[in-house]
Amino acid sequence: MARSTARVLTLLESLQSGGIQSVATLATRLGVDERTVRRYVAQLVEMEVPVESIRGRHGGYRLARGYRMPPLMLTDEEALTLLLGLVVGSRGGGLPIDSETVESAVGKLRRVLPRGTAARLDALLSSADLALLGPLGSRSTDTVGDTDPKVLMVIAEATRDRHPVEIGYTRKDGQASRRTILPYGIVARSGRWYVTGHESATGEVRTFRVDRITNPVALPGSFNVPGDFDASAIVLASLAATPWRYRVSVRVAGTIDDLRSQFPAGLATLEPAASVDTEPWTRVRLRAERLDWVVPYFAGLGRDLFIEEPGELREQVRILAGRLLAACGDDPLPPGDPLST
């Protein structure tokens, strides 16, 4: 966005806060001279924004009474993308902003959204645990499709309003069925969304992947969530019990405290490992359906590693190493090289 355009939008935002804004105040806020402020006002008028000029000692500019910016016409998917982009970017350090700035941006986004879309986003924010939200690092071959924002919003509204919901659900083996659940909570973990709650058919608390849900329908009635229910703990426990194709064990140089921040909660278990040359090492265990994301993840730690299992992971490392050497114009490691074992 051109700097002048950004300043014109900043001017409009200042005027929307209400009252008469003096030229001197606006010039200071925009970091320009008073003549430039008048030029920006002229641009707003050309855009048919009703800016009024107030003469006198306490004069300046203001928006015409009753004027409101038209709603920002975003689809549910676009609005959700913007919202979660702010949350994930600030949490992961990708955006140089603090939580207060994120909250302010989310509030402004919400105010200019159509009422229905804003209400659905409010439902998601109030009913979902985003503490484990992050980039999807382990998309597996059993994925039936990305999460449909409309499905997520319906589930979020039912969770917030405590309504039962009927869903279509496709299991990992491809078997589809209709189920009725009482959605106790929504949890985001590593780029996936999960809803957990009471399933009517089994009478048990179950966890469902939202990207496997189709055609959710909120039903009449209401329910109460058990007072001690911890949706995040239930989802993490459910994922821990899921049978995965590979069990991964890698020793990594560093202490548990050193590594804890490099592994999202619930992704791996960390335990002390035998030290090498008096340096502390940590054993990292995790389970995965595929290994193609595991190799670059560990490589990105920037630490010495030793692969304990599975053997297939060593082969994945060799393949990646060969590609990286080829990219540098070097030959792959010879079979007898110590680093190839």
What pLDDT does residue 137 have? 45
Q: How confident is the model at residue 259 (pLDDT cuts 50, 70, 90)?
A: confident
**Is the pLDDT reported for residue 238 higher than 80?**
no
Q: How confident is the model at residue 118 (pLDDT cuts 50, 70, 90)?
A: confident
Give the largest CA-CA distance in the chain: 87
Strand-pairing partners, residue 284, are: 250, 270
Q: What is the DSSP letter of 225?
A: -
d(CA 200, CA 162): 15
- Domains of the chain, earliest start first: 3-63 (1.10.10.10), 76-130 (no CATH), 149-239 (2.30.30), 246-340 (3.30.70)
Query: How crowded is residue 65: how many other Cβ atoms within 10 Å of its Cβ?
Result: 8
d(CA 122, CA 153): 10
What pLDDT does residue 341 have? 42
Structure tokens at 299: 């490589």
The residue with greater pLDDT, 161 or 136, is: 161
d(CA 109, CA 106): 5
Reported as a single tens digit per residue, the pLDDT across 195-208 is 999 998 899 999 99
- Closest by CA position to 62, among listed 17, 20, 16, 8: 20
Structure tokens at 322: 């060969």
Omega within 30 of 0 (cis) for the link into 310? yes
d(CA 315, CA 148): 36
Helical pair 23-30 and 3-16, crossing angle rounded to 10 deg:
130
Q: How confident is the model at residue 317 (pLDDT cuts 50, 70, 90)?
A: confident
Mean pLDDT of the chain: 79
Contacts of 159 (CB under 8 A, 6+ apart): 123, 127, 128, 183, 184, 185, 186, 195, 197
What pLDDT does residue 185 have? 92
What pLDDT does residue 65 have? 77
Radius of gyration of the chain (CA): 27
Residue 66 φ/ψ region, left for φ over 0, alpha for ψ in the -120 to 50 degree band, beta for the rest: left
- Closest by CA position to 212, among listed 182, 190, 179: 179
Strand-pairing partners, residue 87, are: none
Reported as a single tens digit per residue, the pLDDT across 82-109 is 776 776 666 555 555 666 777 777 777 7
d(CA 63, CA 18): 7
- Residue 304's φ and ψ, nearest 5 degrees, are -65, 145
What pLDDT does residue 181 have? 95
